[in-house]
């Protein structure tokens, strides 16, 4: 009987080893770099909540501003910026608690820098919180994306200005939950409209051209058989191009829109080729000048 038990135990050993092997980890190999993508947030199931009446407004002048809030008829000084100029983007119930949040921006003044945005939220008992995120900024305004159970905040950010010549755009999408902004999507893109010929602010550095000089390219813009010359200088404040088109038949057309990239498109308007400014901004000719987009 004892011998029979020993034989049965020995016969079971390979099965135990096989089961252990089948349960080995199946993640990335040792030393592999993990993905930098934001971790997905768990799905939330909205619950019925009581809707409250909330409104926000700005009071005071620059460097002396306050954001006022009214919640169910009670007035609050909800937030006082340290300094600078505040702007209201929009208000919406971002976390489904029945109280509207305020998406607002702050800028230090002038046009040197993009706007940093924040979310101001009523947390109950007369308490407000104001939160932001390192990637929650833009030269434009955040976009509210309705996604069903939980809205999203989308911003497109471009690093520009003196010392920068890139026209890459960063897309960041946030969810506001539990009093915090959560980054749920981020991507960097250099996608652009293709041009027949083009100049970029980065061409100064790429070609070793001193920024005191000018870059040039030629193209027959009005199809009269004569080359028209783009002459572009370095706009130091913005790290962009400031261009003139010297027409082969005489005359000069100025393009001082501050494009980091200027290119000639295949399409035409008003007897002249359209231009691309940056990645995908289109400038069209109105008979006397290229109108800004």
Q: Which two tokens stand for residue 174?
A: 């946030």
Closest to 147 (Cα-Cα) out of 171, 175, 121:
175
Q: What is the pTM of this model?
A: 0.68
Q: List, in order, residues 6 or more apart from 150 with CB less than 8 Å away.
A: 44, 46, 95, 96, 175, 177
pLDDT tier at 181, thresholds 50, 70, 90: very high
Q: Containing H/E element for 66?
A: strand 66-71
- Examine the pLDDT at 31 and tell me if it is beyond 60: no
Q: How many CB atoms lie within 10 A of CB 104?
A: 25
For residue range 104-121, what is the model confidence (pLDDT) as tens digits?
A: 998 866 556 788 999 999
pLDDT category at 26 given cuts 50, 70, 90 is very low
Buried (b) or exposed (e) across 122-136, using 16+ Cβ within 10 A? beeeeebebeebebb
Is it the case that residue 214 has pLDDT exceeding 70?
yes
Is it the case that residue 90 has pLDDT exceeding 90?
A: yes
Q: What is the pLDDT of residues 15-25, one digit of tens each?
A: 333 333 333 33
Q: Terminal CA-to-CA distance of the chain, rounded, Å?
A: 93
Sign of CA dihedral 169, 175, 178, 179: positive
Structure tokens at 132: 């932001």
Task: Extract long-range pairs of 232-235: CB within 8 Å, 24+ residues apart.
Answer: 232/199, 232/262, 234/201, 234/204
Six token digits for residue 70:
């009214």
Residue 48 confidence class, pLDDT cut points 50, 70, 90? low
Contact 113, 102 (CB under 8 A): no
**How much is the pLDDT for 111?**
59
Q: What average pLDDT does the structure give for the chain? A: 83
Distance CA 57, CA 86 (A): 11
Rounded to 5°, angle at Cα 130 from 127 and 136: 160
pLDDT at 140 over 70: yes
Cα–Cα dist 81/274, whole Å: 43
User: Is pLDDT larger for residue 33 or for residue 104?
Assistant: 104
Grade residue 164 by pLDDT with cuts at 50, 70 and 90. low
Higher pLDDT: 204 or 293? It is: 204
Q: Would you state the pLDDT for residue 128? A: 98
What's the pLDDT at 146?
Answer: 82
- For residue 268, give both structure tokens: 């035409």
When mean pLDDT is compared over 138-142, 157-161, 247-251, the highest value belongs to 247-251
CA atoms within 13 A on the CB side of 68: 9
Q: Which residues, other chains included, contact 70 with Cβ-Cβ below 8 Å and sequence gap of 6+?
A: 53, 54, 55, 56, 76
Residue percentage of the chain with pLDDT more than 90:
59
Tell me what the mean pLDDT of segment 199-227 comes to.
95
- Neighbouring residues of 4: CB distance < 8 A, sequence distance ≥ 6: none
Closest CA to 277 of 253, 256, 261, 293: 261
- pLDDT given at position 292: 72
């Amino acid at each position: 009987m004892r011998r029979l038990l020993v034989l049965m135990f020995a016969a079971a050993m390979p099965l135990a080893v096989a089961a252990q092997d089948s349960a080995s980890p199946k993640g990335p190999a040792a030393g592999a770099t993990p993905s930098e993508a934001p971790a997905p947030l768990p799905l939330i199931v909205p619950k019925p909540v009581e809707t409250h009446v909330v409104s926000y407004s700005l009071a005071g002048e620059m460097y002396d501003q306050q954001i006022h809030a009214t919640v169910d008829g009670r007035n609050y000084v909800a937030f006082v910026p340290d300094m600078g100029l505040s702007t209201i983007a929009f208000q919406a119930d971002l976390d489904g608690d029945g109280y509207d949040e305020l998406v607002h921006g702050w800028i230090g003044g002038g046009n040197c820098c993009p706007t940093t945005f924040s979310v101001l939220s009523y947390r109950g008992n007369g308490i407000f919180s104001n939160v932001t995120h390192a990637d929650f900024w833009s030269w434009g305004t955040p976009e509210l994306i309705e996604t069903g159970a939980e809205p999203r905040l989308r911003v497109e950010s471009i690093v520009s200005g003196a010392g920068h010549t890139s026209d890459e755009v960063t897309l960041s999408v946030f969810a506001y939950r539990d009093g915090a902004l959560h980054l749920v999507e981020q991507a960097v893109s250099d996608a652009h409209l293709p041009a027949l010929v083009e100049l970029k602010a980065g061409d100064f550095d790429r070609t070793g051209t001193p920024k005191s000089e000018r870059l040039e390219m030629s193209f027959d813009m009005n199809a009269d058989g004569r080359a028209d010359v783009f002459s572009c200088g370095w706009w130091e404040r913005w790290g962009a191009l400031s261009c003139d088109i010297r027409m082969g038949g005489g005359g000069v057309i100025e393009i001082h829109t501050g494009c980091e990239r200027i290119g000639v498109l295949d399409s035409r308007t008003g007897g002249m080729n359209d231009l691309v400014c940056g990645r995908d901004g289109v400038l069209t000719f109105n008979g006397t000048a290229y109108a800004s987009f």
